[in-house]
Amino acid sequence: MKSIFLSLIILSFTAATGFAHVSLVSSMPADGAVLADAPKMVMLTLSEPAKITGFELVKDSGEEITVGELPNEMTPMAHISLPKLASGKYTITWRAASKDMHAMSGTISFAVK
What would the pLDDT profile of 49-105 be if each residue is shown by its tens digit? 999 999 999 999 999 999 999 999 999 999 999 999 999 999 999 999 998 888 999
Question: Is residue 107 in a domain?
Answer: yes
In this prediction the pTM is: 0.80
Count structural domains, the chain. 1
Q: What is the pLDDT of residues 81-91, one digit of tens each?
A: 999 999 999 99
- The CATH number linked to 72 is 2.60.40.1220
Residues in the chain: 113
Please check whether residue 6 lies inside any domain of the structure.
Answer: no
> At 86, phi and psi to the nearest 5?
-85, 170
Q: How far apart are CA 81 and CA 68, in angstroms?
A: 5
- The span from the CA of 96 to the CA of 105, in Å, is 6
Say whether pLDDT at 2 is over 50.
yes
* 12 pLDDT higher than 80: no
**11 within a domain of the structure (yes/no):** no
CA–CA distance, 40 with 11 (Å, rounded to integer):
46
Residue type, 15: A
What range defines the domain where residue 57 resides? 21-112
Asked if residue 58 is part of any domain, the answer here is yes
